[in-house]
Amino acid sequence: MSIDWNHYTPLASLAGGVLIGIAAAMFVLLNGRIAGISGVLGGLLRPVKGDSAWRIAFVLGLIGAPLVYLLFAAVPKPQIEAGNGSLILAGLLVGIGTRYGSGCTSGHGVCGLSRLSPRSLVATAAFMGAGFVTVFVTRHLLGI
pLDDT beyond 90 at 59: yes
Q: CA 16, 124, 129 angle in degrees (round to 5)?
A: 105
Report how far apart, in Å, the C-alpha atoms of 119 and of each of 21, 23, 75, 105, 122 are: 19, 22, 37, 13, 5
What percent of the chain lies above the pLDDT cut of 90? 27
Closest CA to 59 of 36, 75, 78: 36
Q: How many CA atoms lie within 13 A of 89 on its CB side?
A: 5
**Which tens digit of pLDDT belongs to each residue from 65-112?**
989 988 998 877 778 888 899 889 988 888 888 888 888 888 888 888
Q: How many domains, in total, are found in the chain?
A: 1
- Label residue 46 by pLDDT band (50, 70, 90): confident
More confident: 3 or 86: 86
Q: Across residues 124-141, what is the average pLDDT?
A: 90
Residues spanned by the domain of 25: 5-141
| Model confidence, pTM | 0.74
